[in-house]
Homo-oligomer: A and B are copies of this chain.
Amino acid sequence: MKFCSQCGHKVTMQVPENDNRLRAVCSHCDTVHYKNPHLITGTVPVAPDGRILLCRRAIEPQLGLWTLPAGFMENGESTIEGALRETLEESMVQGENPRLLSLISLPQWNQVHVFYRISMVNFSFAPTEESTEVKLFTQEEIPWDELAFETVEFTIKHHYETLGKNDTVLNTEIYFNTNQNS
């Protein structure tokens, strides 16, 4: 952020009164601009036969790798509504009965990922603008080496570890290894 979104003047980084962090502050209109973590919401769609659905990413980052349907939560929706919307947008899957499955913080990305286990109402799904391929996998078929994100890997593992146990939520944090720059 270089300019004030309220008045258009240049902002400077300073610690506001009664605060202890550097913020972008506008000395013209006195607005303090806060930057906060983003919420990503998604699902583990479970087909009527127990297989789970993955999407092959049509967009960066991690283009070509497999992921769970997920995306940025929008204003005006709940975490569940966002997760079901993203699932529809990315895989054309109609889901129901969402149950909280994982809440994973990514402090270095300023993100929090929330995943729900959902039941697919039938076997309908299809590729979309965001997914070149959408497919059901048994546990043995999961392409562990081609998953797009660590939160997806953690969440899928937690799905299998907790099958049949309701209300068991994975709550953890992921830090990337700065040596690997990934």
Inter-subunit contact B100/A81 (CB<8 Å): no
Q: A110 → chain B, closest Cβ, in Å?
A: 4
- Number of this chain's copies in the complex: 2
Main secondary structure of the interface of A (DSSP, over half): loop
- Which residues 11-40 in A have Cβ within 8 Å of B in the complex? 11, 18, 21, 24, 33-39
- Which residues 96-119 in A have Cβ within 8 Å of B in the complex? 100, 103, 105, 107-108, 110, 112, 114
A161 at the interface (CB under 8 A from B): no
Inter-subunit contact B39/A36 (CB<8 Å): yes
Chain A interface size, under 10 / 10 to 19 / 20 to 34 / 35 or more: 35 or more
User: Interface-forming stretch among A45-53, A72-80, A140-148, A149-157?
Assistant: A72-80
Report B-chain residues with C-beta under 8 Å of the C-beta of A110.
Answer: 75-76
Inter-subunit contact A37/B39 (CB<8 Å): yes
Known: A21-B74, A36-B72. A3 touches B2 (CB 8 A): no
